[in-house]
Amino acid sequence: MASELDKSVQYLKSIGQKRAESFSKIGINTVKDLLFYFPSKYLDRSTILNSVKVYDYILDGYAGEVTIIGEVYDKEVKRFGKKTILTIIFKDNTGFFEATWFQAVSYFKDMFKEGDSFAISGKPQINKYHKLQFIHPDFDRLGKSESDDFLHTGKIIPFYRIPGELRKTSFGDFSIRKLIYSVVENYADLITESLPDFIINEQKLISLKETVKNSHFPESNEILEEAKRRLKFEELFYFECLVAIRKKLHDSIEKESVTKLDTDYANDFVKKLPYKLTKDQKKSLNEIKKDLESPKPMNRLLQGDVGSGKTIVSLISILMMCKSGYQCALMAPTEILADQHFRVISRLLDALGLQIELLLGGQLSKKRKAILESIRTGETNIVIGTHALIEGNVEFRNLGLIVIDEQHRFGVLQRGTLIKKGTIPNVLIMTATPIPRTLTMTIYGDLDVSIIKEMPQNRKPIKTALRGESKLPEIYKFVIKMKEEGYQSFIVYPLVEESEKLTLKAAETYYISLKEEYLSGLSIGLVHGRMNWKEKESVMLDFLNKKYDVLVSTTVIEVGIDIPDANIIIINDAHRFGLSQLHQLRGRVGRSGMQGYCILVTEDSLANSGFASNFDLNYLSEREIEKYKTFIRLHSMVQHTSGFKLSEIDLKLRGPGDIFSTQQSGLPNLQYTDVTTDIELIEAAKSHAFKIISEDPSLRRKENSLIKNTLKKNYAQHLVISSIA
């Protein structure tokens, strides 16, 4: 039975070896793979209107979106000077309607062939010739003729993503629907259940067979929603099982108990700070101290917005461990950030007499050898570094605390390798990218979480503005004016060199241009990712010491760089950056008591779009969100300064896989779940999974045998990783 589902797609009708190779490139090798290759969207025929009804609705004042199915009747291409306009004329069983394109005319002209049927979706209008017209609508090809296509006579039509590899083999929308229809008819009943009956009954889920059938060719919208719910719950349940197993493994470990931490260093350090710790910082420190004194090793996530004071919290934690006789390690994602941590921490702790070392990949052999020996013998109290910390020749004498900065930049195997350097050390993971609660529940459910939302009292909210490129001369005048008040400025570009393929600004080109033209009276530096860390360090130190008024940069400054007087940041081609990245870049300014300014520069058409800057994402449809993603991203930066709020918006725009790769956490990707809306399912799946693993960690009970087998069969690689993290 199982062998039928495991046989190659090559032996299916209409596939063959060449197409099988194309399917393999997108991860479809077997019949089972094809059964679980679900549609990306559906067209509900029951909601489709004919052209006459739509025409009447518009006359009555309707201005919404509709879908009409029609057959290509004719094509017209008209030229007006340099402009070319394509009009496709469709007919349905009541009349005619048109779809018009002003861009990519040659592409769309070849797309629509006479006699083919299409579903046309969008906001229609009645043009000056009194014809029903769509401008640049969405469309889906249905087949040569709607009437003799048996797959399109039902109410709901599935549409599948067809990558270029498949289209090259002349495999289109109709072909893949026909293939999958045949596979579902012949093989779906061979699918075996993957959830135990007691969970299916308690959660009122439909069977896996029914789920697969109705995910492809649903009998109704209601049963389609049930199929989606089943898929979501199952992936969440096994995801949470992995999280629960990882937590159980960690909780089963006993460390050498630190019964009482020596807080003398930490107390002296806090007293000498020029400011008071915030309530959130104090709360986080109390939670960390309790963990460090526990017989269980700490496994804590410290999350907080840019500039909220996470590093000070981690440093106080390090001091408690150092005074208690332990070595501490701080791992940063880049050499320039590790170097900055080293300089700042060395200065702050100078009076305590602690030995602090910096370990980087590009250090001279003699110096590196001396540092490694000092770490091995225990002379070094604190070692700060990058990936160099996890190399095999790095040995600690008594590693008690590991602090990992910007944790999502490290893979779980890298973190695990560093943890093995000590005898069950405590781990504090930091991130300056705030994580929405639902994402914390799923990906980081095995960690204890401390959150710093409160900002230091001397911080003023950064003023953010969106400007078109035509305003750059005025922006440069602002930079010159503010220089007289002691301000330094970052000017960020997305590339190092000009690209022929991308119309993006490049740092090197504009560095020369700014020096010679707009900012010729100022001193300008340049830093980018192609420099080695020593070169970057030299430029950044010169900028810190005010040798430069302006620093032209790529995103190498995105994380952690702290220049107190750099309180203006201009981000060019802002539409090309992700929301999280824009917020991280903005966090480079406003780090002193001075007012910080962030100017997002984009195309004039985007800056002056008329998109409402006070929009509410909750009231936008999925289609509107998809259409206006760039506008939403840019205006969200203007509207919000909170990283937590922006992370929620980013999650809705991009999905969890893009914000925090689950590969970094050693967990599988979520394919079906929307962590912004499926909160109840997440909580239910987590409750089931944690209860089962808590009561039966090895899944030896008979009622849990199916869960164990499914985990071993489908999630073996993640089980291995979970045991490390």
Alpha-helix residue ranges (DSSP H) falling in 399-501? 412-419, 437-443, 472-483
Residues of the chain above pLDDT 90, percent: 34
Does residue 651 register a pLDDT over 80?
no
- Say how far apart CA 50 and CA 63 lie, in whole Å: 16
- Cβ neighbours of 322 (radius 10 Å): 23
Residue 409: its pLDDT value, please?
52
Return the bridge partners of 299, or none: 427
Residue 197: its pLDDT value, please?
95
Residue 590: its pLDDT value, please?
84
SS (H, E, C) 534-599: HHHHHHHHHHHCCCCCEEEECHHHCCCCCCCCEEEEEECCHHHCCHHHHHHHHCCCCCCCCCCEEE
Residue 666: its pLDDT value, please?
59
Among 139-143, 144-148, 433-437, 525-529, name the one with the lowest average pLDDT: 144-148
Domain ranges of the chain: 42-159, 192-248+681-725, 264-452, 463-640
- Domain 463-640 grouped into CATH 3.90.1150.60: no
Amino acid at 86: L
Task: CATH number for 42-159: choose from 2.20.25.10, 1.10.10.10, 2.40.50.140, 1.20.120.80.
Answer: 2.40.50.140
Q: Identify which of 652, 508, 528, 479 has the alpha carbon closest to the alpha carbon of residue 579.
A: 652
Residues 6+ apart with CB under 8 A from 89: 72, 73, 74, 75, 76, 96, 97, 98
Mean pLDDT of 226-240: 94
Mean pLDDT of 206-212: 96
Among 377-386, 443-452, 703-712, name the one with the lowest average pLDDT: 443-452
Q: State CA 428 to chain mean position distance.
A: 22
Which residue carries 């100017």 as its tokens? 599
**Beta 83-91 vs 66-80: how paired, if at all?**
antiparallel
pLDDT in tens, 245-259: 888 877 777 766 566
Does residue 583 register a pLDDT over 80?
yes
**Beta 488-492 vs 550-553: how paired, if at all?**
parallel
Mean pLDDT of 353-376: 88
Q: Work out the angle at residue 134's Cα, subtended by the Cα atoms of residues 129 and 135, and round it to the nearest 5 degrees.
A: 100
Q: The domain 264-452 belongs to what CATH superfamily? A: P-loop containing nucleotide triphosphate hydrolases (3.40.50.300)
Q: String of b and e for 629-655 (b: at least 16 CB within 10 Å)?
A: ebbbbbbbbebbbebbbbbbbbbbbee
Residue 173: its pLDDT value, please?
76
pLDDT tier at 41 (50, 70, 90 boundaries)?
confident
Is-same-fold flag (264-452; 463-640)?
yes
Residue 273: its pLDDT value, please?
85
Residue 501 vs residue 160, higher pLDDT: 160
Does residue 240 register a pLDDT over 70?
yes
DSSP state of 495: B
pLDDT in tens, 555-572: 877 655 678 888 999 999
Q: Which of the listed ranges 411-415, 484-488, 498-502 does the model predict with the highest average pLDDT?
A: 484-488
Beta-carbon-side half-sphere exposure of residue 631 (alpha carbons within 13 Å): 20
Q: Strands, DSSP E only, in 144-272?
A: 156-159
Phi and psi, residue 175, nearest 5°: -60, -45
